[in-house]
Structure 1
Amino acid sequence: MNQVRAKKHLGQHFLKDQQIADKIVKALTGHNNYKKLIEIGPGTGVLTDILIEDNQYDALFWDVDRDSIAYLNEKHPSQTDRFILADFLHQRLEEYFKEPFGVIGNFPYNISSQIFFKVLDYRHQIPEVVGMIQKEVAERIAAPPGSKTYGILSVLLQAYYKVEYLFSVPPNVFNPPPKVTSGVIRLIRNDVQQLDCDEKLFFRVVKQGFNNRRKTLRNALKPLGLADEVKELPILNQRAEQLGVDDFVELTKAISSGNN
């Protein structure tokens, strides 16, 4: 059986520590009793092997690397229908999953943020995510308001999920070792089915606010064409990083009301 070589252009760093792999899989809680699961980027299958042996979830394993899929097919010949050559970022997930499904993986660093934005698109169908990403990104997603690392993904994900930074993973347990430390985070869907505001506008307000994070919101949100009465709101004297999810919801409601 030919081993899979990590490809730099795919951002591959294969985990080789079995204890850490076990810890990642055990971080799944099965929140809301979902049975379907997708692993993004199984690589050489260190998480995959555990998930198949455990058989708690009806799991699919997606990778864009043909070598990885071929290797896993050879390694688990009775499970070949589970290994799919597919790009998570460019699939219509509803064509594969009609019911809720969890997401797990050692996510490629270069697309980790995009993966989480995709999760947000399917937030009503994804009750849980356990992912290993660059520690800096993991800490940013879990950061509270007021933190220098608090940003767009922090607000948007925390609006719909309970975000937990679980543990750090050193570079030496990967092949090849990345130049940075990794972090494992867990997202568990909260009870918010819909925010108490225009959600599309909420996303725009958050993104626009953080795109100019050094400016006060009064200046950062100018491109949204704020009504005169909205411009006088005291909250606009603050910067985006100072606002929590509820603050952004109230600000979005004010902007929506002022523009009608």
Structure 2
Amino acid sequence: MGEVRAKKALGQHFLVDLNIARKICDSLSGGSCPRQADGSTGASADVGPGGASVPCDVLEVGCGMGVLTQFLLKRDDITTYGAEIDTESVEYLHAHFPEFAPRLIEGDFLKLDLRTLFPRGLKIIGNFPYNISSQIFFKVLENRDLVPECVGMIQKEVAVRLAEPPGSKEYGILSVLLQAWYDIEYLFTVNEMVFNPPPKVKSAVIRLRRNRVEQLGCDEKLFVKVVKASFGQRRKMIRNSLRSVFGQFGGAEHPFFTQRAEQLSVADFVELTNWVAANRT
């Protein structure tokens, strides 16, 4: 089977630089899985019966023609699975990586039930399609107890946004939500010309590693609402953004009300969420 034709509707830009693919593969740690078979967590999660080491399950999102897959398959400290929505790519992978075929899932990653497929947990890696990269990270967040690490190549602007600290104009909703649960590293920038077809923007590789936070110390669903509401009107003070969603709070004021959303840290948003819970009418 010949090369797969890149499909614009799927946001496909196939990486062709083997050195970049190897570098992405090497950015993912191996070994430990977040859960044991009984669902518990801990340092022994990567040790099987008799003390044998159990390779961690890794899911590659969007395998394409396997340029990254080939390096992942060479690692003996992980067990590589794939999720690929493009039928043509699936056929290509079956033809060129027959040993991988039993672990290749044909379908939409965003619709996969990760808890059923990977009860022991999984790490996620991939050259993520630009048009769904944010949705991929939201799915990682939903499964944060299962996903200790994620390495992804995405649009550079999005990578910068996710890794930026408070005070930056790029800092936004997904920055706050991800940074609440993950340590985020901007690893390296990738030039347009290492793809076929070349995208119109630069790419970057970032790594998310689960932090030690188990609970935020507030109503976590309300936290998401407060963060989204705060950034809903970016140029306005938080007072106006929150009141448009939650009402007047009986006229009560919080010290953060005169600031803008991008100035607040995760801890600040936790404090603000608890205040909103106590004061909304």
Instruction: Name the TM-score class by shorter chain.
Output: over 0.9
The superposition leaves residues 42-75 of structure 1 with CA deviations (integer Å, 9 ceiling, x where unpaired) of: 1010110111122321121111100111100111
For 1:11, give the aligned amino acid.
G
Equivalent position to 1:140, from 161, 165, 175: 161
Structure-2 residue corresponding to 1:242? 263
Structure-2 residue corresponding to 1:6? 6
Structure-1 residue corresponding to 2:151? 130
**Alpha-carbon offset, residue 79 of structure 1:** 2.4
2:246 is the counterpart of 1:224: yes
- Structure-2 separation of matches of 1:226 and 1:91: 41
**Alpha-carbon offset, residue 226 of structure 1:** 4.7
Structure-2 residue corresponding to 1:105? 126
In the TM superposition, 1:159-238 aligns within 5 A as 159-222=180-243, 223-228=245-250, 231-238=252-259
Structure-2 residue corresponding to 1:19? 19
**Alpha-carbon offset, residue 227 of structure 1:** 2.0
- Structure-2 separation of matches of 1:28 and 1:226: 47
- Structure-2 separation of matches of 1:160 and 1:23: 25
- Structure-1 separation of matches of 2:99 and 2:121: 25
- Structure-2 separation of matches of 1:147 and 1:81: 45
The superposition leaves residues 128-156 of structure 1 with CA deviations (integer Å, 9 ceiling, x where unpaired) of: 00000000000000011010100001000
**Alpha-carbon offset, residue 126 of structure 1:** 0.4
The superposition leaves residues 143-202 of structure 1 with CA deviations (integer Å, 9 ceiling, x where unpaired) of: 110101000010000000000000000000000110100000000000001111000000
Identity of aligned residues (%): 54
Q: Quick check: 2:233–2:241 contact (8 Å CA) kept in 1?
A: yes
- Structure-2 separation of matches of 1:184 and 1:63: 20
- Structure-1 separation of matches of 2:253 and 2:206: 39
User: Helix, strand or coil for the counterpart of 1:54?
Assistant: coil
User: Helix, strand or coil for the counterpart of 1:184?
Assistant: strand
Report the CA distance shift for 1:33/1:93 in structure 2 as closer, same or farther (over 3 A).
Answer: closer
- Structure-1 separation of matches of 2:232 and 2:125: 29
In terms of fraction of residues, the more helix-rich structure is 1
Q: Quick check: 1:61–1:82 contact (8 Å CA) kept in 2?
A: yes
TM-score (norm 1): 0.96
Q: Quick check: 2:246–2:280 contact (8 Å CA) kept in 1?
A: no
Structure-2 residue corresponding to 1:58? 79
- Structure-2 separation of matches of 1:150 and 1:138: 11
Moved over 6 A (4+): none
- Structure-2 separation of matches of 1:74 and 1:31: 29
- Runs of at least 5 residues in structure 1 that lack an aligned partner in the other structure: none
Equivalent position to 1:121, from 137, 142, 162: 142
User: Helix, strand or coil for the counterpart of 1:221?
Assistant: helix
- Runs of at least 5 residues in structure 2 that lack an aligned partner in the other structure: 35-55
TM-score (norm 2): 0.89
Q: Quick check: 2:236–2:260 contact (8 Å CA) kept in 1?
A: yes
The superposition leaves residues 71-117 of structure 1 with CA deviations (integer Å, 9 ceiling, x where unpaired) of: 00111122211111111111221120101210000000011011111
Q: How many residues align?
A: 259
Q: CA-atom RMSD, angstroms?
A: 1.3
User: Helix, strand or coil for the counterpart of 2:28?
Assistant: coil
- Structure-1 separation of matches of 2:33 and 2:220: 27
Report the CA distance shift for 1:219/1:50 in structure 2 as closer, same or farther (over 3 A).
Answer: same
Q: Quick check: 1:31–1:128 contact (8 Å CA) kept in 2?
A: no
